[in-house]
Amino acid sequence: MAKPQHVTQFQNSHQELSLYSHIPASRQPPILRIISGITGMLPENSLHHHLVFKPKRPKQPGGGGAELYYVQLVSKVEEMEDEKGKENRGYELRKQKWKMTLEDIPEVTRKPVTSRSVLSSNIAEGDAIAFVESLGYTFQSAYFTRSSRLMHGNVIIKLSQILLPQPTPPSSTPAPGAVFGNPFPTSSLTTLDPAKSWILKASVRVQSNQDVESLNTGVNGLKGFKELMKGMCDLEIAERLALDTRVR
């Protein structure tokens, strides 16, 4: 498999095995309760800020050369409310703890789960956005995910919803960094899907794609969870091309 460029810039890599299900808005609360019951834990709720970057350099004509991939910066948004319940604190984009991730297109496999390799690197200090731009990427778009996370054995269960920042009015002069979106106030975020549906993702991380034994354990864990959820939701393999992160 052709490894993407900039591989050396990533500290961590793992293979992610996953299954997905589309949850209508009305079904989200009962599903969450059921999973909470199965796992015996309360969901860990969080809000994440995602910035999608696209390589500046166009793909070489003729299909030659290395594939180019979208990369993302992801950071967790701390939702702290002060005494007055005011959450509109100064959100400092460039002071967030960002993580840069590159997800490969899911591999062609006969496994009953989606399998892709994921590279990631925590950016400890400095201006993450400037760093990514210096690597030859340009900002594409921003979104937020509100998600509840639970664990069942090795399976990470994430029930999430995609949120969009409030569009900046074109007339006013945009504040610096406004294109990246501000999560506050959180009530201003709108759902991408007008029907406000949720995505249930069950995944298992395996250190290496060469480790067949661990991969099988992971696949079986996911299969077991799928069986457990039967009747409540159908966990399926994702359409491979829908998860394509290559630049076209």
Partner 1 sequence: MENPQKSLESARQRFSQLVSALTNFNNVLRHGPPDQLPPWSTLQSQFNVLSASLASVSTVLTQHFPPPQETPSALVSYPLPSFPAQTQSILLSMLCNKKPNAPVQDWFVQGLNDPAVTALSTADKAEQNEFWKAVQDAVAEQQDSRSWYDELYTLEEREGEGGVDAVSTGLALDELGDPVRREEREREKEKEKVGGGLRLDSMFRFMETGVHPRDQPPLPTGQPPGGGMMKR
Angle at 247 between CA 104 and CA 113, to 5 degrees: 30
- Residues that bind partner 1 (rule: CB under 8 A) add up to a total of 36
Count H helices and E strands in the chain, helices first.
Answer: 3, 9
Q: Which 177-216 positions form the footprint of partner 1 (CB under 8 A)? A: 192-195, 197, 199
Contact 202, 19 (CB under 8 A): yes
Under the binding rule (CB under 8 A), the answer on residue 61 touching partner 1 is no
Report the nearest approach of partner 1 to the CB of residue 9 (Å).
20
Pick 30 or 177: Cβ nearer partner 1? 30
Q: Under the criterion CB under 8 A, does residue 142 sit at the interface with partner 1? A: yes
Instruction: Give CA–CA dist 11/15, Å, rounded.
Output: 14
Q: Out of 131, 143, 190, 228, name the contact with partner 1 by CB under 8 A.
A: 143
Type and span of the H or E element at 98:
strand 98-103
Residue 11 found at the interface with partner 1 (CB under 8 A): no
The single residue among 70, 91, 131, 184 that binds partner 1, judged by CB under 8 A, is 70
Which residue carries 């309760």 as its tokens?
A: 33
Quick one: CA dihedral 131, 129, 134, 55, positive or negative? Answer: positive
Angstrom distance (rounded) from CA 82 to CA 110: 51
Mention every residue, 6+ apart, whose C-beta is less than 8 A from residue 117. 13, 14, 15, 16, 103, 104, 107, 209
Give the nearer residue to partner 1 in terms of CB position, either 154 or 181: 181
Q: Which one of 36-44, 149-157, 204-212, 233-241 is the stretch in contact with partner 1 (CB under 8 A)? A: 233-241
Q: Does 57 bind partner 1 (CB under 8 A)?
A: no
Q: How far is the CB of 174 from partner 1 (least distance, A)?
A: 18
Cα–Cα distance between 200 and 36 in angstroms, integer? Answer: 13
Window 13 to 42, contacts with partner 1 (CB under 8 A): 20, 22, 24, 26, 30
Is there binding between residue 133 and partner 1 (CB under 8 A)? no
Within positions 149 to 168, which residues make up the interface with partner 1, using CB under 8 A? 162
Tell me how crowded residue 4 is: count the other CB atoms within 10 A of its CB. Answer: 19
Secondary structure of 141-162 in HEC code, one letter for each residue: EEEEEEEEEEEECCEEEEEEEE
Site for partner 1 in 73-112 (CB under 8 A): 103, 105, 108
Query: What is the binding site for partner 1 (CB under 8 A)?
Result: 1-2, 20, 22, 24, 26, 30, 50, 52, 54, 63, 70, 103, 105, 108, 140-143, 145, 162, 192-195, 197, 199, 231-232, 238-239, 241-245
